[in-house]
Structure 1
Amino acid sequence: MSVASLCQICESAMAVDTCDTCGTAVCATHYDRATGLCTDCAAGT
């Protein structure tokens, strides 16, 4: 899913995706394309 806002994790880069689990809008750095999760959710799995 494409979004147009700041990353909710780093709050400095543009968000490019949304986490499939928690719905957090995240930049490419904080999104794991392989799992569809933000780095916070991916770390918890």
Structure 2
Amino acid sequence: MSVTTLCQVCESATARYTCDACGAAVCPAHYDRESGLCAGCAGGLR
């Protein structure tokens, strides 16, 4: 059985990544591959 998780930011796209800071499951559009952070956590660093 496969489990599909939705992005915890947009709640519509399939989550493919996990934020290294908060553990949120996020889609590629809401994940910064360079930092390993979701859009929310990456935004707090800027």
Extract structure 1 runs of 4+ deviating beyond 3 A. none
Which ranges of structure 2 fall in alignment gaps of 5 or more residues? none
- The whole-number CA distance in structure 1 between the counterparts of 2:15 and 2:4 is 6
Q: How many residues align?
A: 43
Instruction: Please tell me the root mean square deviation across aligned C-alpha atoms, in Å.
Output: 1.3
What residue ranges of structure 1 are gaps of 5+ in the alignment? none
**Deviation, structure 1 residue 4:** 3.5
- Percent identity for Structure 1 against Structure 2: 63
TM-score, normalized by length of structure 1?
0.91
